[in-house]
Structure 1
Amino acid sequence: MYGTCETLCRLLSEQYPAETPLTLIIWSPADIEGLADGIECAVSEQDIKAVLARIDAIPEDQRLDSGVPSCAVMDLIDQVKEAVPAVMVPADLLETLLMTAEQALWHREWTARDDNHPVPDSVARRLADTAKVRALLKN
């Protein structure tokens, strides 16, 4: 099943009597993002929704036989990322956008450090993404 918590609870209550014991295995957006981070792959909110929808599209008999293991979800992440169309951007425009993104991220990084707080994971990940783009621009 795929949907919001509210929708899933309604569907479960329609399909199963309240006293039916169940095991529920959940793949949340945070789980997908964490798995993608583990394989050093940046995913957008749209990518995550696409992966969750693809998990739901796995035939029920396959899900019952083997569940939805993390290796299957990693394959789905790869499929979603491969399906994203490439866009040609002039290098100077990309450089300008990259500089703007870095400056915004640096502000958030420095604010956290100045206040003796850890740099938020989202900021650290995005800074790593900008470093990857910088490396690609050098090639």
Structure 2
Amino acid sequence: MYGTCETLCRLLSEQYPAETPMNLIVWTPEDIEALADGMECAVSDQGVKTVLARMDAIPEEQRLESGVSASAVMELIGQVKEAAPAVMVPADLLENLLTTAEQALWSREWAARDDNHPVPDSVARRLADTARVRALLKN
């Protein structure tokens, strides 16, 4: 089932009596983003919604037999990334956007360091992404 928490709770209560024992496995947008981060790729909000919708399209027999594993979700993330259209961006515009992104990330990095906290993994990964893009721009 795919939908909001409210919708899914309503659908479950319509399909099953309240006392029915069950096991419910939940994939949230944050789970999809974390898995994508582990794959070292970023997925847009729309991409996350597309992955969740495609998970719902997995045939019920297959879901009952093997569930929706992390590897299945990783495959869906890959499919969504491949289907994303490529765009051409002028290098100077990309450079300006990179600078803005880096400045936003630096403030989060410095705030963590100032409070003697580790730099969040998401910030470190995004800074690495900006460094990769900068390297590509130099080529």
Regarding TM over 0.5, the answer is yes
Verify the 8 A CA contact 1:108 1:123 in the aligned structure 2. yes
Runs of 4+ with deviation above 4 angstroms: none
How much does 1:29 deviate?
Answer: 1.4
TM-score (norm 2): 0.92
Deviation digits for residues 56-99 of structure 1, max 9, x if unmatched? 11111121122111111111000111111111011111111111
Superposed CA RMSD: 1.4
Per the alignment, residue 60 of structure 2 pairs with 60
- Bigger mean CA offset, 105-114 vs 74-83: 105-114
Per the alignment, residue 75 of structure 1 pairs with 75
- Bigger mean CA offset, 74-83 vs 107-116: 107-116
Per the alignment, residue 108 of structure 1 pairs with 108
SS in 1 for 2:102: helix
SS in 2 for 1:117: coil
Structure 1 residue ranges without an equivalent (≥5): none
Per the alignment, residue 122 of structure 1 pairs with 122
TM-score (norm 1): 0.92
Count how many residue pairs are aligned between Structure 1 and Structure 2: 139
Quote the Cα distance in structure 2 between the aligned partners of 1:43 and 1:132: 17
Structure 2 residue ranges without an equivalent (≥5): none
Quote the Cα distance in structure 2 between the aligned partners of 1:26 and 1:40: 22
User: Percent identical across equivalent pairs?
Assistant: 82
